[in-house]
Structure 1
Amino acid sequence: MHLPRWYVKPKTLGAGGTIDLDEYEAEALPARRQLVTSRHLLPVEQVADQWSARGRTSDVKDLSLTVEIDGRPYAPAFLLDPTLDPVAVEHLALVLSELSAWSKWQFFTSKNGSLGGDTPLDAIRKGNRDGANRAARAFLDR
């Protein structure tokens, strides 16, 4: 599987095939900072305010999509995309609740063969909630 640059795989494994998490995070940090610079990730307070203004009663933090970069919490800008059904996004976030926020980011933003090459976000935009849901369950099983 091809992983985006922000989801950097460590170059080396430690003794016994273990991953040095500090090295992993250090390798991923520049690409993750770029997500903030490009406004793909926004300060969580900004997203939370606009999310509730969209009539959503769930807390953005409850969706477990919040990531931390340089000690600050950020949330995906796609939560504010008016072309996305927020109920479908909430549902998929809950289906994926056992995963880390970065794994959820990977799911939502990566092209998926079972969705005809669309990302799950594209599938939601096109009304293919069932396909996105199946893709989420398959992602959990990987």
Structure 2
Amino acid sequence: MQTNILAADLHQQAEKGKRRLVQSGELLGSSELMGLLQITKQAVSAATRADRLFTVEVDGQTYYPVFFADGKVDRSVVERVARLLGKLPGWTKWAFFVSRRGSLDDLSALEALGKGKVDLVEKVARAFHEEMAR
């Protein structure tokens, strides 16, 4: 019984955190993404099917990470790394991009990409995909 209460509380906290990401602009709806990237709905769909873009779900709504459009890291590089993560769930991919990793010199993938460590991030992304896909 205690375990179920703890699990429910953790789930509730995670959902609050996801809502905060939407409120803070870290996650964008498809129309916002299309506007920022100046691309069509068809282009977004094609990139998502090709795993160059990925989505996450919050309260039943689909969102895209802002890092695909904010210009802090070259979009083509971010898309290439996203593609290396294959068909992993969106929130797993999100965690890869934003969590600090020892294998990336205690930087997140986004921070490492911003510092030009593209080859290292790609190598770590391949290893992460292999590990998570097991």
TM-score by length of 1: 0.73
Corresponding position: 1:38 with 2:27: no
Where in structure 2 are the equivalents of 1:1-142 lying within 5 Å?
12=3, 26-52=12-38, 59=45, 61-62=48-49, 63-142=52-131
Deviation at 1:93, TM superposition (A): 0.8
Q: Contact 1:64–1:101 (CA<8 Å) still a contact in 2? A: no
Give the unaligned 5+ runs of structure 2.
none
Q: Contact 2:97–2:108 (CA<8 Å) still a contact in 1? A: yes
For residues 72-129 of structure 1, what are the alpha-carbon distances to aligned partners after superposition, in whole Å with 9 as ceiling and x for unaligned? 2111111112121111111111110120000000000001111111111111111111
Quote the sequence identity (%): 34
Deviation at 1:12, TM superposition (A): 4.0
Give the unaligned 5+ runs of structure 1.
1-10, 14-19
Quote the Cα distance in structure 2 between the aligned partners of 1:109 and 1:141: 19
Which 4+ stretches in 1 moved above 4 angstroms? Answer: 22-27, 57-60
Q: Name the Cα RMSD after superposition.
A: 2.5
Number of residue pairs matched by the alignment: 122
